[in-house]
Amino acid sequence: MSETPVWRNVLSILVTCFLVIRLLYTCSNMNNRNSSAINPEIMNFQDTQKIMRESMERNKKLQKIFSNNIMYKTYQGVDSLSAVMKDNYGILKIEKDTSIVVDFTTTINIPKGFYLQKNHDDTLRMAFKSPENLNIFIHDFQSKDTLASNFKILKRDKDLQKFKEQKVSIFSMITYNITNDTKKYNGYAFCFKVEDYQSFYEFESPNLTSDQLREKVHDYLHFRKK
């Protein structure tokens, strides 16, 4: 039996390799063409999703800003909000004199007719508004920074002015002025820090002085021993 010449074996291997390479090249081109054909649609879909996500995030931020500023409306302005808006922003009217437990040692007495807001913000625990347009904000959170620096962060978009802090042990009493939407407010804040847990009780009014607001703190806030 005669043997196949070596050159024929080599030629067969080369032809086979050529056909395999050509097949792979053809498949690759087809995949590229297919990818090019569907990429615009995929990109358009992805772009639409991205735009929708960004729009939702912007709306959330705007809603949060509006929610956190809603108590700066006049009492009549809050009172005139629709039931749906009040519900959306966690606002309800206090129907009778109420004592609210804030934490293990602190209660706040709120008279009938005040508005209460609990919007589940990251730092705003609750807020109140009186018929005389007294605003009370309660913020609490954990932080290793000073009470003064964190207070300034809380008021960073309110044009904080005339900031003055008096420190006594773990407590800080802060007097200040702010401006919200061109309207000026006097403020008095009672703040304290236990380890890294910080609490801020802010009393603000367009009419009352800082001394009068300090008296409101004594009227509304009550501390008890553990």
pLDDT tens digit sequence for 156-207:
999 999 999 999 888 999 999 999 988 999 999 999 998 889 999 999 999 9
Instruction: Determine whether domain 74-223 maps to CATH 2.60.120.
Output: yes
pTM for this structure?
Answer: 0.73
pLDDT at 98 over 90: yes
What pLDDT, on a 0 to 100 scale, did the predictor assign at position 6? 47
- Enumerate residues 6+ apart whose C-beta is below 8 A from 135: 71, 72, 127, 128, 129, 185, 202, 203, 204, 205
Q: What percent of the chain has pLDDT over 70?
A: 68
Cβ atoms of 172 and 148 within 8 Å: the answer is: yes
Question: Around Cβ 144, how many Cβ atoms within 10 Å?
Answer: 9
pLDDT at 34 over 60: no
What pLDDT, on a 0 to 100 scale, did the predictor assign at position 94? 95
Largest CA distance in the chain: 120
Domain boundaries, the chain: 1-72, 74-223
